[in-house]
Amino acid sequence: MRFSANLGFLWTDLTLPDAIRAAKAAGFDAVELHWPYDTPAAETRAALEETGLPCLGLNTRNGTTNGLGALPGREAEAKAAIDEAVTYAREIGAGAVHAMAGFAEGRAADATFRETLAYACDAAPDLTILIEPLNRHDAPGYFLTTTGQAVVLIDALAKANLKLMFDCYHVQIMEGDLTRRFGEVRDVVGHVQFAGVPARGRPDEGEIAYDRLLPALDWGGPFGAEYKPGGDTGATLDWLRGWPR
């Protein structure tokens, strides 16, 4: 198995370039980002080139609404956020952009999110555009909450570069039955993330035996470690050294 360090949660005490270096030193195979925009893209790219780590992707800005993609009346801002993310991704050589939906509900929100996603897919045919269901406990009011809802959007838009971010942590809380659910949506999966459930802590603690689950999933790309270490990241990495690679 290969693993990606999500630097939105891991090594947050370091600058982004130093966090990339720390991920390399720890033995990760790739990195992924949340909101890197305060770090000049040239500095991020230099650290990636120095370490040889690929960057799998990054998020559009979350602001105070956990994204803008599904917010009626804020379409121009949502498209500007897409443009910003796409530009940064291209400058650092990242492969994907997670288009965050935001807190919204109803038909107008659905129509708005479809418009935003179509814009993103057409604006960046060279990148994967990801959508991620978030659970209602951590993100109450978030527009996208289940893999089924995501698949409906992906099928309706029929864009080859629109994919599902399958976050085992969120899917377990909302739907459970991870192995079966992953198999049902495998054709539209663009990335896989994981964290301990229910605390979103280190993945070798909690109710999911990831050392057995992840090898059972039909996924060839790196698995994204997106968990909250609750302190020193290095002290939580026994799983990375002990799981099969």
Options 43, 132, 175, 184, the catalytic residue: 132
175 is a catalytic site residue: no
Contacts of 105 (CB under 8 A, 6+ apart): 141, 143
Cα 79-152-34 angle, rounded to 5 deg? 45
Whether 84 is catalytic is: no
Q: Which residue has 């600058």 as its token pair? A: 15
- Residue 244's CB: how many other CB atoms inside 10 A? 7
Give the active site residues: 132, 226
